[in-house]
Amino acid sequence: MDNEALQRWVERVSTEAFGLAFKHKATFNARLRTTGGRYFTKSHHIEINPHQLASFGVEETEKIIKHELCHYHLHLQGRGYQHRDQEFKELLSQVGGSRYCQSLPGTATERRRLPYRYMLICKACGQQYKRKRKTDPRKYACGRCRGKLLLKELDSAE
């Protein structure tokens, strides 16, 4: 899909879901990594992450478009268009837009959700500290009793 097809898609979704015309520019931006799209308050343009379309399909991408159109239409009407505003939340719910986009494979957001692979265990009191990354137990002490720590590698996700 190219930018012209995206432009037509955004215009169609705007008319069908909001009953209002989208009169600005919608483009793909492949440099977006941690977000599905963004709305620019100065130019009123919308950018959509093409990786979301490739990874999760048309349905999820349309929810992202609706999310960005909520920002667009509320901002142009002078109403609360930010994520924290109640008007934004209500309109997003009415049109069926997504509050958050799914994490793309290989991104930092996805890496944060990796299971714990290591555990530091205090030799004195038994306090346990789960870790996603391997750490040197000699550099740290127990936060509870200041005892020495032992590093244990976990077999499966806990």
pLDDT at 91: 95
Strand segments (E) across the chain: 26-28, 37-39, 46-48, 118-122, 128-131, 149-153
Q: Mind listing the pLDDT tens digit for each residue in 116-129? A: 899 999 999 999 99
For residues 137-151, average pLDDT: 96
- Helices 50-76 and 3-13 cross at an angle (nearest 10°) of 50
| Average pLDDT of the residues in 124-150 | 95
Over residues 128-147, the mean pLDDT reads 95
Q: Give which of 28, 40, 49, 100 is closest to 76, Cα–Cα.
A: 40
Is a pLDDT exceeding 80 seen at residue 157? Answer: no
Burial 95-118 (b: 16+ CB within 10 A, else e): bebbeebeebeeeeeeeeeeeebb
pTM higher than 0.75: no
Reported as a single tens digit per residue, the pLDDT across 55-113 is 999 999 999 999 999 999 999 999 999 999 999 999 999 999 999 888 887 766 555 56
pLDDT score of 70: 97
Interval 15-65: pLDDT, tens: 999 999 999 999 999 999 889 999 999 999 999 999 999 999 999 999 999
> Active-site residue numbers?
68
pLDDT at 106: 72
Residue 34's pLDDT is 86
